[in-house]
Structure 1
């Protein structure tokens, strides 16, 4: 019996013209093992393991990769790893957060935004990144109203260096405001946290894209005995028409296959 895949379940990424798998591969674990909030420790995979993971994701119908400058060496590893197959992937990267020597720092200026995107293009060995999101420090409204990052991303989109832009924030108010001017919001939405649901509602009403982070509460979801937490999580997510895709960071092939099979089951039963 063949494994369930997501090949025939791709969906629009809002009104960007892109279509994406309902599950995306988060790649923080390809580049960074400091200052990450996972319940268990892990070892960053070597190039051969990373190539196998990407090949498995493709075979299972995943075409969406999430990375960021703040994910350590993730971007610079993905460039060479994706050689010869770049056209098969939709890449989401970020601006605003840098991670050096175990510490995060933030810069939302026009100059840094442009520098960051140009650096990501080089690292990823590409001439256009499909989607770039602002990596918020939590002061969502201040960033959107008083910093130059969003206007700079709009210019980079007009220049053809990015296909779309948006905001990975921490508040419902920030997410809604980000969607008013941008293409996509990345929100936390899971069995434990649903405070950003108004952002999903706005996206569904206005044809905007939603990417869900921490869909499985970074592995912390716990439910009553007998309930599959992964299935319950994806049922919650995909019951909402605003959700384009859930980003799940895993380097475990068994977890990846299980997540794909679960998403396929949930979507085919709807």
Structure 2
């Protein structure tokens, strides 16, 4: 397992980040309840296997159910071997308003205390705003709260999780955030517009949704009729499978890692097979220039439609 720099933080992270949402709550295609999830003992075994295989970067959040607590139990006595990233609770009040500085400070610090307790640690390597939309990114009070935590040393680095390209642009322009977690994959490559800008500012990029909740994998079943064009487009990527690329998850992961600005690819892992698939993709060989250009040319023509949150709300997943 090779490591890459998390921007200019001085933190070295594995190219694969273990995504912790699936071990904490029901999430993903075909996962409807806790009955479809790993037991805690099996989740801990999987986390240990990942660490022993060279993955040192683990991503979780206060809102990922039992994920933080399970990671805390798994890494008891091994804290120095892991880089932990977590995210605070959502920051708006019930009316959707952003609290004042005092309210934000109390909310963020309370969420951080909960995370520290659940993870069994006294510091977080990367602490993030869970979803930083345009209004949150423009809020100077929020930035003050997070930069203060970094100054105090409770968190080593601060970052934001975003969805839209304009949010990425604003986060980069701020010049204070150390890392940005963003969606990027074979289908939706729109965030790639800002990769060079982020690298120039020393900002680490953590790519999520690389498998689009399993759609860019061999476990995809028949999609909802409303997604028939998406399903047809997904089939085109199999034309890229050639010598050195044996299956779609490997291709999708190598595509993201072929971009040198990317610090790590976040992969949701809740089965040993998925761990092995992720490890199989990080042998230091990615894509040659010709194959990368072919993959870039196969981006979905309407990336704005690729909104998995909206698909969830509409019952398409």
Matches within 5 A, 1:138-217: 140-146=133-139, 148-179=141-172, 180-217=175-212
* Kept after mapping to 2: 8 A contact 1:12/1:18: yes
Deviation at 1:13, TM superposition (A): 0.8
* Kept after mapping to 2: 8 A contact 1:176/1:198: no
Matches within 5 A, 1:103-114: 109-114=104-109
Matches within 5 A, 1:1-270: 6=1, 9-33=2-26, 36=27, 38-41=28-31, 43-97=36-90, 109-136=104-131, 140-146=133-139, 148-179=141-172, 180-221=175-216, 222-224=234-236, 225=238, 227=241, 228-264=247-283, 266-267=285-286
Distance 1:199 1:64 in 2: 23
- Give unmatched runs, 5+ long, in structure 1: 1-5, 99-104
Distance 2:285 2:65 in 1: 33
* Kept after mapping to 2: 8 A contact 1:11/1:244: yes
Distance 2:201 2:263 in 1: 13
SS of structure 2 residue aligned to 1:24: strand
Distance 1:214 1:82 in 2: 25
* Kept after mapping to 1: 8 A contact 2:255/2:287: no
Greater Cα shift, 260-269 or 151-160: 260-269
* Kept after mapping to 2: 8 A contact 1:96/1:135: yes
Compute the TM-score of the two structures, normalised by the length of structure 2: 0.74
Deviation at 1:110, TM superposition (A): 2.3
SS of structure 2 residue aligned to 1:29: coil
Distance 1:29 1:106 in 2: 30
Distance 1:190 1:233 in 2: 7
- Give unmatched runs, 5+ long, in structure 2: 217-233, 242-246, 290-317
More strand by share: 1
SS of structure 1 residue aligned to 2:281: helix
Distance 1:194 1:111 in 2: 37
Cα displacement string for residues 82-101 of structure 1 (whole angstroms, at most 9, x for unaligned residues): 10111110000001438xxx
Distance 1:189 1:148 in 2: 29
Greater Cα shift, 197-206 or 67-76: 197-206
Distance 2:116 2:278 in 1: 30
Deviation at 1:206, TM superposition (A): 2.2
* Kept after mapping to 2: 8 A contact 1:96/1:136: no
Deviation at 1:71, TM superposition (A): 0.4
